[in-house]
Amino acid sequence: MGEFASRILCLGEQTLGTLSSRVPYVEYSKDGHALLVICNTANSEQLVKLPMRHEGLEMTNCLTGVTETPETVLTFAPYEYRIYTR
């Protein structure tokens, strides 16, 4: 994940929430930067809305290294998770 993401995890403010009953998320933020982890805990596809504070923002997918602007509504395969930084 890199040194920057590690510093956010250690020093940032933690926010826990759910995007649906089966899709929790955790966010660490510090100084305008964020690390966002979203996980589908269900054995079925789930459609969820990205947290509003991240809508329309360019983020880096830590699993692929690709910088992208995620859609407002995300589709998660069974047990899929995503990790973003911005």
What was the pLDDT predicted at 33? 87
Q: What is the pLDDT of residues 23-65, one digit of tens each?
A: 999 999 988 889 999 999 999 999 999 999 899 999 999 999 9
12 by DSSP, 3-state: which?
coil
In order of start, what are the domains of the chain with their CATH numbers? 3-85 (2.60.40.1180)
What percent of the chain lies above the pLDDT cut of 90? 74
What was the pLDDT predicted at 37? 96
What are the structure tokens assigned to 36, written together? 């966002």
Residue with tokens 């660490």: 28
What was the pLDDT predicted at 49? 96
Query: Which residue, 77, 31, 23, is CA-closest to 49?
Result: 23
pTM of the model: 0.85
What is d(CA 17, CA 53) in angstroms, rounded to the nearest whole number? 13
